[in-house]
Amino acid sequence: ETGVTQTPRHLVMGMTNKKSLKCEQHLGHNAMYWYKQSAKKPLELMFVYSLEERVENNSVPSRFSPECPNSSHLFLHLHTLQPEDSALYLCASTQRLLDREGYNEQFFGPGTRLTVL
């Protein structure tokens, strides 16, 4: 629908598990983002990548580890998560990194609903 896909759509994991979230954009964009959305703090930016290079890391705990092997794919590796990490994890992309004077439509994927038990 939006050209950004995410898998899995739902994930339940224990605190000792290791899992990965995958995002793929089919839009030919150069910038990709990870957001966390929970009821208490909507749309928290986690990571920003531009042409596979991480350009922003918003004080995210090390139990979240991003990976961007190419400009179309973005992963979020999860390990030893806490119950408070339960949230909707959204991937997004833009044509290029933020253009302060230009057009910055952000395309979001459907998200992964993560529950940590």
Partner 1 sequence: GQQVMQIPQYQHVQEGEDFTTYCNSSTTLSNIQWYKQRPGGHPVFLIQLVKSGEVKKQKRLTFQFGEAKKNSSLHITATQTTDVGTYFCAVTPNSGYALNFGKGTSLLVTP
CB nearer to partner 1: give 5 or 80: 5
CB nearer to partner 1: give 7 or 82: 7
Q: Which residues bind partner 1 (CB under 8 A)?
A: 2, 31, 33, 42-43, 45, 48, 50, 55-56, 90, 97-101, 103-111
CB nearer to partner 1: give 17 or 44: 44
Do 52 and 69 form a contact (C-beta atoms < 8 A)? yes
Secondary structure string (H, E, C) spanning 3-60: CEEEECCEEEECCCCEEEEEEEECCCCCEEEEEEECCCCCCEEEEEEECCEEEEECCC
CB of 114 to partner 1, least distance (A): 14
